[in-house]
Amino acid sequence: MSNSRRIPVKICGTGEALPERVVYSTEIDKRENYRQGHTEKVTGIKSRYYATEESASDMAVKAIEHALINSQLGLEEIDCLIAASGTMEQAIPCNGARILAQLGTDRCIPAFDINMTCLSSLMSMDVAASLLQTHAYKNILVVSSDIASVGIDWRNIETGGIFGDGAAAYIVSRAESAQQGIIASRFSTYKEGLDYCQIQGGGSLNHPSKVAGDYQVYGQFRMKGKEIYRLAAKLIPDFVNDLLESADLSIKNIDWVVPHQASALALKHIQKRLKIPADRMITIYPRRGNQIAVSIPATLHALIESYPIKRGDKILFLGTSAGMSIGATILEY
């Protein structure tokens, strides 16, 4: 279902944090006894970042501090914190509560999670925009921080080799101009893709008390890559075109495309099928990999930091997530 009602909000600032350790594909080749160049050829990634000493909360705090500087806002001006990660730091309490505590503030603002795996940040933008319209909040902080490297199954390089760690944050506020804001958004979940991406542990279904033997496999990410690619490739073109049509726009009216950095193949397919000019589609995948929920806000940060974006430009955000879901938002920056 599409929502084409314009919601006057603006992105005030973005920030990013990366682990210190850079892992090159050549290092993976050596460790896994592949011929040199194999990992990069299969994944399309030259390097990615893996957390070693850093926790997800550590990186989240650094990304938040960066976003606050870029927005010229103080932490005391934030009314609400949404943790929009695809993975949990621990089962309970929620990531939002842990991040708020680590920020060191005495303020008791609401801090909670929105988890839609890779679409968590984009769904949070939609929710934050709606919350801002209640006038209960003025500035909402959204932060994503994921450590994918702890759950990699190295028996499948096509899956294991694509992931990287990191954090990214942005602040969304009420806009003074009615021309700024979310023009249209759409999210849909397709049950046929329910088991295409899974981590089977971490909940009540496969609780350690119920599982005999090695529990490690329940903490590893498993993906049916071909199946999810085929389903997404079939659905995305019409999904995006329907959203554009609901807003009386075409892809030619879009100034920038910020996609989830799912894989090299997925990015290539999106660009080709939607006829997106190469210089308008923002890609950080070759040096970051798939950072789960971090990918979309990190790509937005790269757009704002490194490209000639200006207020009034139209951004198309687009991605997929486990379940399987597709989401897209058109924002007038």
Give 235-256 pLDDT, tens digit per residue. Answer: 999 999 999 999 999 999 999 9
**162: pLDDT strictly greater than 90:** yes
**Per-residue confidence (pLDDT) for residue 107, from 0 to 100:** 92
- Banded pLDDT at 208 (limits 50, 70, 90): confident
The position carrying tokens 């050829």 is 41
pLDDT, mean of residues 109-114: 98
pTM above 0.85, yes or no: yes
Tokens of residue 267, six digits = 């990015």
Tally of domains in the chain: 1
Q: Kindly give the interhelix angle for 95-103 and 56-71, rounded to the nearest 10 degrees.
A: 60
- Say what the pLDDT of residue 5 is: 67
Q: What is the predicted pLDDT for the residue at 6?
A: 80
CB-CB contact of 190 with 324 (8 Å): yes
Reported as a single tens digit per residue, the pLDDT across 269-304 is 999 999 999 999 999 999 999 999 999 999 999 999
CATH number of domain containing 255: 3.40.47.10
| 254 three-class SS | coil
Q: What is the pLDDT of residue 293?
A: 99
Domain residue limits at 27: 1-333
Q: Write the CA distances from 295 to 122, 163, 198, 207, integer angstroms.
A: 10, 10, 18, 29
| Mean pLDDT score across all residues of the chain | 95
Where residue 199 falls among pLDDT bands split at 50, 70, 90? confident
pLDDT band at 185 (very low <50, low <70, confident <90, very high): very high
- pLDDT band of residue 2 (cuts 50, 70, 90) is low
Beta bridge mates, 245: none
pLDDT of 216: 83
Residues 306-323, mean pLDDT to the nearest whole number: 97
- pLDDT of the residue at 210: 87
Closest by alpha carbon to 117, among 89, 147, 82, 87?
87
Q: What is the DSSP letter of 196?
A: S
Q: Looking at residue 225, what is its pLDDT? A: 84
Q: Average pLDDT, stretch 50-66?
A: 98
In angstroms, the Cα distances linking 13 to 64, 65, 139, 220, 298 are: 10, 11, 11, 34, 12
pLDDT in tens, 166-177: 999 999 999 988
Contact 40, 46 (CB under 8 A): yes
Backbone angles phi, psi at 16, to 5 degrees: -145, 150
Tell me the C-alpha to C-alpha distance, in Å, between residue 101 and each of 90, 112, 163.
14, 12, 28
